[in-house]
Structure 1
């Protein structure tokens, strides 16, 4: 599922600041990056299953690997994990209302904080 029109898609922010902000909201980058792209995930283990909120970004300046990038954020995604196949982000998935509400609040909180440091 895509969280359209959150406003986060228009934000560009320094990678180092972005790492700190995302971590403070429970979004983990770990090894999910290459020199042009970065991905942050937050895992939700709830009664209805395991879900992942994913926020990706693309380097518009600099290099992710050198930690000197300016990152343009992309549309957040929500997916459901199916063992052993992986995470499905398809439109046909059903997501619990309480999870959607939590993700929308989290995205709004991240947007508010990254906007303070936007380029």
Structure 2
């Protein structure tokens, strides 16, 4: 599920500042290449594992350089289906909504 109206898409900053903010908000940088990084926050319940993912795309420089310029994309919420991958049509369970809202608000506050 794409979270369209969060105000995250288009936020710009240096990779060092973005990574520090994402870690502070509870995200972990899992996969990355020189043009983008995925920051994930994991949620679990008795049914499945879920992830709130925010991608950072480079606009100048290469990742791993703290001074590289990046722009954030819209957050997405996905459900992990083993062994098939990620289901991007998953709805957000009510138990996770408050934590997601707080994480997004924290990112916006720290990077805006």
* CA deviation after TM superposition for structure 1 residue 85, in Å: 1.0
- Who is 2:79 aligned against? 80
Quote the RMSD (CA, aligned, Å): 1.5
Number of the residue aligned with 1:89: 88
Query: What is the TM-score when the length of structure 1 is the normalising length?
Result: 0.84
Relative to the length of structure 2, the TM-score reads 0.89
Q: CA deviation at 1:89?
A: 0.8
Q: Which runs of 5+ in 1 are unaligned?
A: none
Q: Distance in 1 between matches of 2:64 and 2:20?
A: 16
Q: Which runs of 4+ in 1 moved over 6 A?
A: none
1:70: Cα distance to partner? 0.9
Deviation digits for residues 3-43 of structure 1 (CA, Å, limit 9, x no counterpart)? 1121111210110111111111221114x111111110111
Which of 86, 104, 107 is the equivalent residue of 1:107? 104
Aligned length: 112
Per the alignment, in what secondary structure is the counterpart of residue 8 of structure 1?
coil
CA contact (8 A) 1:48 1:96 kept: no
Contact kept? 1:34, 1:65, Cα under 8 Å: no
Comparing 68-77 with 104-113, which one deviates more in the overlay? 104-113
